[in-house]
Structure formats: structure tokens, C-alpha cells
Structure 1
Amino acid sequence: MDALATLLDGPRARGAFLLRSVLTPPWAVKVADLAPLTLVHMVRGDAWIRTDDGQARSLSCGGIAVIRGPEPYVVAGDRNTEPQIVIRPGQVSTDVDGNELCEQMDLGVRTWGDDPDGAHGAGSGAGEEAALSAVMISGTYQMRGEISSRLLSALPQVLVLAPDAWSSPLPALLSEEIVRDEPGQEVVLDRLLDLLLIAVLRTWFARSEAKAPAWYAAQSDPVVGPALRLLHDDPAHPWTVADLAARTGVSRAALGRRFTDLVGEPPMAYLTGWRLALAADLLREPDATIASVARRVGYGSPFALSAAFKRVRGLSPQQHRERIAAAASS
């Protein structure tokens, strides 16, 4: 498994929030839900995504945006339209004064907005056209995991893929599935969202403007790439630089220099960071003990994991777990 595949295995949707929005111009929605990652697909109409730093990105019909949280942003049909709707934590929608709109704007299965017909007629005379409502699908990952944080740190706050920049059947499939109300549909939508995210990020990282992180570029190196895959495939193995060098067919010194030059840190430091990222993610599971997590990420005892965790992250595994619980309850 390559480095990108392993990192993309982290943000796996579990009950993701998916919504089809139908909004009549002029429209603008401020998103302040604190979510770590959201995908937005414009099914009909165009939009602008504005961030608090004053930047604005155009999202044309058929395009997809990936927006990294938790900073707020505005999605609007026009660059200058002020928000009329606010999406708050817990995916609660209100007007700008805080009055709830969830029930008022409910349009059926995972559909929400102010136009029940999906369009708003401008007239029926000759030469007159309907002013169609915008339709967009948003998929929101609602939990921040430590592995996905490693990936999210490599992303800009907003990335946009124009419809002519890639080709995939996934957006159309998601459009069909999001309005179905069948047994197990939430799981189907979770997996579709995961696949769409992977497809978008794979396309994005292949582009020159993506400024891919060092670990992504290094995976194509004939020496460092195989070493990274070995570490990601089996982090619990008692790896040494000598072992990795033997597996990749170079000397210890050559592997150490090349790995550090391309990845930005020595192999064993990278392995420690990866193991602790895995451990932090596994500690989110309520039934996982510190001992079981230690075994899965390559530490011989709970004490060894705790010592490494506190040395690198500044808190113990138990304190990390308590912080997660406190954040979830708030």
C-alpha cells in the first residue's frame, strides 16, 4: 500500500452528513459547522466559495470543491451576496438571527432548500426562460481523526476541480443515491463519499499547483517509495534502518540520506510519527485498550506507548482519549 492510499484510509465516513440543497437565487449559506472536511458538488448552477481571509473561488456547474475546516466559509450563487442561512455545529440550519430553519426548509429525503419544485418559474411567455434554482450536494466528514489530520495538513483550505479537469462516474452516482430511502442507504452513501474523496484528491495531488507534500512525491522514488510502503503496510514490525535498507537493496547510509532528503525526516522518526498517528486514531475506538493499541502499532507494552506518546505529543494516551471525549460532548 502506498503512502497516499494509507493516509486516505484514515478519513473513512461513519454516518457522514450528506445533503442535497435546492436554493433560489440570490442565495448564500455561511457554513460554521466546525467540520474537518466537506465536499461540495454543483449539480446545477454556479457558485462562489468565500473564506474569511477574503479569498473567493469559483465553482462552476459540474465542479467539485473540497473544503478543509474548521474555519467558516460562505457558499453563494453570487460573489457578493450576503448569507441568509447559517449552518451551525450539529448541522443545524438557522437564519442569521439564529432562528431554526431545518423543518421549514425540509424538502424530503436528504433534500433541503427553499424551492420544492427544484426550479422557480420566471414566466411562460415566448422567449422567457425559467430562472432555475441552484442544486448542490454536500458531504461532510464530522469527526477529526489523527490520520486524516496528517492528510488535511497537506490540503489548502479550498481546492476546486473544474468539470473539465477530470472524469468520473461517481458524482452522477452520488446524485442518484442521495435521494433514495432504502435499507442500508447510509452505508452506501458513506462509501460513495469515501470513493469520491479519494478520486478527487488523487486527481488533485497529480496537478502541479497542488504542491504535493514530501511524502507524496517520495513514494515514486525507487528507493524511498518501497521503504515507505513497508512502513505503512506493517507499522507493528520491529523495523530498523538496516532492515529497511536490506529490503530496498541499498546501504543503511544511502537509505538514511535519501529518505531524509525526500521525506524531510529520518526513517525511524517518520515511523514513530506514523505509529503515534495510528495510535491516536485507534484510541478513538471506545473498546480499544491502551495495551491492544500498543500491540497494533509496534510498541511492546502500554508503558512504552505511553512514554512515546507523551514525549512526542505532550500528553498521555489516556489524556488524549479524555480530550476527545470532552470535545465530542461539547
Structure 2
Amino acid sequence: MAIARGPDPYTVADDPATAPQAWILPGEVCRTADGHDLAEAMALGVRTWGNSPDGPATMLIGSYLLDGEISGRLLDALPPLLALDGGVWDCPLMPWLGEEIVKDEPGQEAVLDRLLDLLLISVLRAWFSRPEARAPGWYRALGDPVVGRALRLLQNNPAHPWTVAGLAAETGVSRAALARRFTALVGEPPMAYLTGWRLALAADLLRDPEHTLAAVARRVGYGSAFALSAAFKRERGLSPQAHRASALSAHRH
């Protein structure tokens, strides 16, 4: 199992010296080195593509298009290439995925999407559970019975007017104990983490021009567009409007 972190290109081959024979480009464009289209020539059936229907090796491939600050927190914690071989981790989902991907039945897309989600989660858990893994603090903290619950409360309901005392009451410990334990595991105090989470969510929501600044403010826990703008500029050095313009410009290019 391998996870390649984009957007840099990567090569899959039986040997590093083997010259690439097919290019898979954005937009599902498939071609040879000289530009010859391969999309139809190598089609072997439902969601199946390659140079031989009876070849000795089969690859199951899926991709996620992630663009945003929330997803970036996970991507930043991963190496450019993450690989686990069968001797380290035997995933029971792989045979099921292999069977489902060649079917042409109602609901197939939903099943494949869920299987791919489960597979990704399972791979990341196996990767971070290795003794030598350098899992980020927030990931390790999610496994803590107290801090993990506090993190999920903050992440799942950022619009709530949270306080350390309120979090402590929800997690069943004292205010001081929660603050100490949260800071030790996550690397920053609860309210600092909440601010960062709210502004990261706001930054992602601002990518959609349909969302007004006031609506974004309400969704992430700020009472007004002015309050969100002040916090955004204080923490990030630019206004929400400037961030939106920059994100939309980058998306167009």
C-alpha cells in the first residue's frame, strides 16, 4: 500500500530503470510519451485500465482531491511517499475493494467511496502506530480519553461559545487538569487550538464565493463579520477578503 502526496508527479514501475510507458495526467488524461491518447485503447472494462486483462500484477488506485487548510493539517504530517508492505500490514479491505471495483451494479460508486475512505483511515492508523512514527500531537491526542473528547467537541461544534471550564465539565475533569493535559498533548492551550481551528475552517469556507463573510463568521463561532475579520487579520496578517481573492486567483491558475 502506498500513498503519494501531491501535487508532485510520481512514477510507478517494476524497476527504476524502466522507462515510463503511459502518462496519467490531471483530468484523467492518459497518453504515451509522444502524445498518443491511451484512454480508450487501454480500457479493459468497468473502472479497469491497463495493458493486459490477465497480467500478473494488478494495482488498485484511488485519489483524493484535497484543497484547503483542514486537509492540509493531515497532509503536512505525511511524507511525500508513505508505503506499507504486506509483511507489515495485511489489510482485509483489499480483496473486497478488488472485487467491487470490477462490478457494474447499482450503488457501486457509493460502495467504492466508502471503501476507499476506510482504507485510507486504516493505512494512516497503521502508519502512525509504528514505533518510529512521528505522529503529530493532535493525532496522538485524539487517542486520549480526556483530550480526545475535548478535541472532537471543538472540531465538531466550533460555533459553540466554548470555554475551558465548559470543556472541562464535558470531559469530566477540572479546568486546570484539562488545560494542563491538553497543552501537553496537543502543544497549545485549548482556546488557542480553537482559534486556529475556527480560522482554518473560515479560510476553507471563504474559498467558496457563495458564502458571505457574515455567514462564515456564524458557522465558525464569531458573532459578526467584523469580529471574524479582526481575528483573521490579527492571526494571519491579511483580511478575509484578501485571503478569498488570493485563493480564488490560485484556483483559476
TM-score, length-normalised on structure 2? 0.86
More strand by share: 1
1:136 alignment partner, SS class: coil
**Deviations 1:29-63, CA, capped at 9 Å, x for gaps:** xxxxxxxxxxxxxxxxxxxxxxxxxxxxxxxxxxx
Whether 2:129 is the aligned partner of 1:209: answer no
281 and 177 in structure 1: CA distance in 2 versus 1, 3 angstrom threshold: farther
307 and 188 in structure 1: CA distance in 2 versus 1, 3 angstrom threshold: farther
| AA at the equivalent of 2:114 | R
Deviation for aligned residue 1:285:
4.7
| AA at the equivalent of 1:91 | E
TM-score, length-normalised on structure 1? 0.68
Deviation for aligned residue 1:309:
2.5
Unaligned runs of 5+ in 2: none
1:148 alignment partner, SS class: helix
Task: Select which of 252, 262, 287 maps to 2:185.
Answer: 262
CA distance in 1, matches of 2:249, 2:47: 29
Deviation for aligned residue 1:277:
2.0
CA distance in 2, matches of 1:179, 1:262: 44
Whether 2:32 is the aligned partner of 1:95: answer yes
More helix by share: 2
Root-mean-square deviation over aligned CA pairs: 2.5
**Deviations 1:106-153, CA, capped at 9 Å, x for gaps:** 2232222222x323xxxxxxxxxxxx3x21011011232321111111
CA distance in 2, matches of 1:210, 1:313: 30
Which residue of 2 is the match for residue 114 of structure 1? 51
**Deviations 1:231-272, CA, capped at 9 Å, x for gaps:** 223221112233334444555454434332321222211111
Q: Matched residue pairs, number?
A: 253
CA distance in 2, matches of 1:75, 1:274: 36
Q: Work out which structure has the larger RCO, using CA pairs closer than 8 Å and 6 or more positions apart in sequence.
A: 1
Name whichever of 208-217 and 237-246 sits farther off.
Answer: 237-246
221 and 187 in structure 1: CA distance in 2 versus 1, 3 angstrom threshold: closer
**Deviations 1:12-37, CA, capped at 9 Å, x for gaps:** xxxxxxxxxxxxxxxxxxxxxxxxxx
Name whichever of 77-86 and 64-73 sits farther off.
Answer: 77-86
Which residue of 2 is the match for residue 32 of structure 1? none
| AA at the equivalent of 1:209 | E
179 and 311 in structure 1: CA distance in 2 versus 1, 3 angstrom threshold: farther
CA distance in 1, matches of 2:92, 2:172: 41
278 and 82 in structure 1: CA distance in 2 versus 1, 3 angstrom threshold: same
Which residue of 1 is the match for residue 108 of structure 2? 185
Whether 2:164 is the aligned partner of 1:228: answer no
Deviation for aligned residue 1:303:
2.1
| AA at the equivalent of 1:158 | L
Percent sequence identity over matched residues? 66
Moved over 6 A (4+): none
Which residue of 2 is the match for residue 276 of structure 1? 199
